[in-house]
Structure 1
Amino acid sequence: MQPFINIDLGGPAQPLLKVNHLLKYFRGGKGREVVQAVDDISFTVMKGETLGVVGESGCGKSTTARLLMQLLTQDSGELIFDGQGVGSSRLPLKAYRRQVQMVFQDSYASLNPRMTMEESIAFGQRVHGVSAREASEYARYLLAHVGLEPARFADRYPHALSGGQRQRVNIARALAMKPRLVILDEAVSALDKSVEAQVLQLLQELKRTLELTYVFISHDLHVVRWLSDRILVMYLGEVVEIGPAEQLFTASAHPYTRALLSSMPSMDPENRTLTSPLSGDPPSPIAPPSGCRFHTRCPHAKAVCAEVKPRLEAVGEGHQSACLMAQPASPWHQSIPLKEVSHVG
């Protein structure tokens, strides 16, 4: 049963989602301070891939997710979904949101406590005009698809399920709209490791069988490496590096990426470090540093880094970095040692 039908408009070479110069500032406080949450970011999400998004808390990951889902409206910039402008006459917001779904971190808060699991999964379809009978049948089909026996779980309420079971229901609820893109914002971070592994395996299987595309946001770099095809690194509201997952882990170009990877716990006791490679807290997004925003914490920073704002430039095939020292065409290019990531693996 397929209540909705998706059409691939541009073929596999056309990005499923293209993000152009997205910007979102929040204004508030006594002094009407402006928080530069997401500042002029651009990237693409290719069809069938998993794009991992990483960065420290407060870097703009979750705000970016909500902008992609259009739960927040950007101050400027645009989203292009399979060649069509989001919010245009060709792709109204309702049609876009049907094809893009989101799974949040808090599995309990994401579910209506007064709805059974079957009702929660069927709700989105009912809003889009699917009959009650068809929506209920499809909800039960999806429960089985995510490993929850409909006879046991369809009539249960959220409080009667474990965290892992609730997150499976949230995944099923997202799939009910037959989306092409699923945004997972820390969707497994609240689960214990054994349940997390089961949900990650489920996500991989669903991606393969349903031809899904993921944007996967997580603070767990080991999980991101395992699940992602490409990885996007954010720092203080900006994209500082993006490239193939293994290339970022073995030959990252931006000093922040290297420091972030160095903070990963090593499986080898001989390689474990006692001190964090990142010194201090990130600067405030209310008044970010001039030039490269990472220069105040970067061990390789030069005077020019405080004066010139680096743009994302190619540093390899499919690999971009916003670091003046890392870009081969930059007049300030220099070789940066890889010692920061020597223990990753």
Structure 2
Amino acid sequence: MAQNPRGDNSGPQAEPLLKVGGLKKHFALTKGTSLFGGQRKVVRAVDGVDFEVMKGETLGVVGESGCGKSTTARLLMQLIEPSAGEVVFDGRVVGSRELPLKEFRRQVQMVFQDSYASLNPRLTIEDSIAFGPRVHGVSAREATARARDLLARVGLQPDRFAERYPHELSGGQRQRVNIARALALQPRMVILDEAVSALDKSVEAQVLNLLLDLKSDFGLTYVFISHDLNVVRFISDRVMVMYLGKVAEVGPSEALFDQPAHPYTSALLSSMPSMDPDHRTEEVPLSGDPPNPIDPPSGCRFHPRCSHAAAVCSTIEPPRVLRAQQSVACLIHQRGSGHPQALPA
């Protein structure tokens, strides 16, 4: 897959469109307290996440299954209520009086992985796209015109597809409809949660190129969640790596892929398949399963699986520090942390 010739706005002049601070989501396993009166156990799906999304950029989000990527996306959209933390969109707190959820969701839309489950089987394609604008006060005539225009923009001829139902379309066509529906409210940001992972490679490439064209045409900002590292590298300006509910590393796409700073990022990138026979993976880059999010390890959450772990890693939770262009949560890069590979204070 060719590299993305990004004509983006994510340089030094860009400003944060979205700020996330201390975001947490803990799912209780049982109601009330435990049998012996102790605190009830919780699944720490997202456990203190901080990051920014700059205007006009594509932020890729990667990590193993269960690391909290999709939960973070649903927290951003307020589809589930956070246990703690704050989401600030363009300087206003989401869900507050200054930015009610209805106004926020008009400006931020989401595309899900399952293209069929995302569409109402009883509505035509045209009605599905026009539904959102009508809910937000757009006249029926204008909403229908907008739906037909967006169908054309995503490569589906309105005369052929407007009156069809979801079951009459292929997976790639349905995902194009979902993208058109997300754009119907003229949002500023789109969150794409595994939006191309269910598509075959030829259709995936078409949808990715479509997303790049739409981003340029509409001045969009993307949060792109995927397990496919090659796709993330192709489409993203910056990449955020998550592990067990926390952010391990954030940095520019090319810098992070070429020189990963966190040991987990290195292991994750080592799992990428290569067609080059001189770059075969002869050793398993990462062994074992992620720890239990109900009872995560103390200190650095990655230390039980990390080949660079030292005794201090099990006692001190690493803060995120700047290392070149990347922000990384690893004691190796923190001066005076006590790790044998860290520089002295």
Q: TM-score, with normalisation over the residues of structure 2? A: 0.91
Cα pair 2:334 2:342 within 8 Å, conserved? no
Mark the runs of 5 or more structure 2 residues left unpaired by the alignment.
1-11, 35-39
Between stretches 290-299 and 31-40, larger displacement belongs to 31-40
Whether the 8 Å CA contact 1:21–1:77 is kept in 2: the answer is yes
1:320 aligns with 2:327: yes
SS in structure 1 of the partner of residue 303 of structure 2: coil
Query: Equivalent residue of 1:234, what SS?
Result: strand
Q: Which runs of 5+ in 1 are unaligned?
A: 1-10, 337-345
Structure 2 counterpart of 1:199, from 187, 200, 207 = 207
**CA positional deviation for 1:273:** 1.5
Q: Which residue of structure 2 aligns with residue 68 of structure 1?
A: 76
In the alignment, the residues of structure 2 paired with residue 42 and residue 329 of structure 1 have an alpha-carbon distance, to the nearest angstrom, of 24
Partner residue of 1:241? 249
Amino acid in the other structure paired with 1:21: G
The aligned residue for residue 187 of structure 2 is 179
The count of residues paired between Structure 1 and Structure 2 equals 325
After TM superposition, the structure 1 = structure 2 runs for residues 71-90 of structure 1, keeping only pairs within 5 Å, are: 71-90=79-98
The residue type equivalent to 2:211 in the other structure is L
- Residue 226 (1) aligns with residue 234 (2): yes
Equivalent residue, structure 2, for 1:26: 27
Q: Counterpart of 2:266?
A: 258
Question: 1: distance between equivalents of 2:203 and 2:217?
Answer: 21
1:103 aligned to 2:124?
A: no
Contact 1:51-1:229 within 8 A present in 2 as well = yes
Deviations 1:185-242 (A, max 9, x none): 0000000000000000000000011000000000000000010000000000000100
Percent of counterpart pairs with the same letter? 69
Given candidates 127, 141, 144, the residue that maps to 1:136 is: 144
In 1: Cα distance, 2:248 partner to 2:135 partner: 39
Measure, in 2, the Cα distance between the counterparts of 1:114 and 1:49.
36
Does structure 2 retain, via aligned residues, the 8 Å contact 1:22–1:74?
Answer: yes
Query: What residue is the counterpart of 1:53 in the other structure?
Result: 61
* Counterpart amino acid of residue 29 in structure 2: G
Distance, in Å, in 2 between the alignment partners of 1:13 and 1:220 is 27
Query: Aligned partners of 1:245, 1:177: CA distance in 2, in Å?
Result: 29
For the aligned residues, what is the CA RMSD? 1.6
Q: Is this contact kept in 1: 2:312–2:338, CA < 8 A? A: no
**Retained in 2: the 8 A contact 1:22–1:39?**
yes
Q: Which residue of 1 aligns with 2:122?
A: 114
Q: Deviations over 1:87-117 (max 9, x none)?
A: 1221111100110000000000000000000
The answer to whether the Cα contact below 8 Å between 1:228 and 1:245 also exists between their aligned partners in 2 is yes
Give, in whole Å, the separation in 1 of the partners of 2:120 and 2:316.
49
Label 1:115 to 1:310 Cα distance change in 2 as closer, same or farther (>3 A): same
Shift of 1:251: 1.1
- The equivalent residue for 1:124 is 132
1:4-27 Cα offsets, whole Å, 9 max, x none, are xxxxxxx96431000011011001
Q: What displacement does 1:270 show?
A: 2.2
Deviation readout 1:119-166 (Å, 9 max, x if unpaired): 000000111111111100100000000000000000000000000000
Q: Could you tell me how far apart the structure 2 residues matched to 1:329 and 1:204 are?
A: 43
Structure 1 residue identity aligned to 2:327: Q
Contact persistence 1:327–1:333 (CA under 8 A): no
Q: CA separation in 2, counterparts of 1:37 and 1:16?
A: 24
Work out whether 1:301 is the aligned partner of 2:309.
Answer: yes
- 1:19 alignment partner AA: V
Match of 1:145 in 2: 153
Q: 2:99 aligns to what SS in structure 1?
A: coil
For 1:320, the aligned partner's letter is S
Aligned residue in 2 for 1:38: 46
**81-90 vs 171-180, which moves further:** 81-90
**Displacement of 1:83:** 0.7
Equivalent residue for 2:289, pick from 262, 281, 301? 281
Shift of 1:269: 2.0
Residue 327 of structure 1, CA deviation: 3.1
Give yes or no for contact 1:118–1:154 (8 Å, CA) kept in 2: yes
C-alpha distance in 2, partners of 1:109/1:270? 43
- The answer to whether the Cα contact below 8 Å between 1:104 and 1:187 also exists between their aligned partners in 2 is yes
Q: Once the 2 structures are TM-superposed, how far is the Cα of residue 282 of structure 1 from its aligned partner?
A: 0.4
Distance in 1 between residues matched to 2:335 and 2:183, nearest whole Å? 43
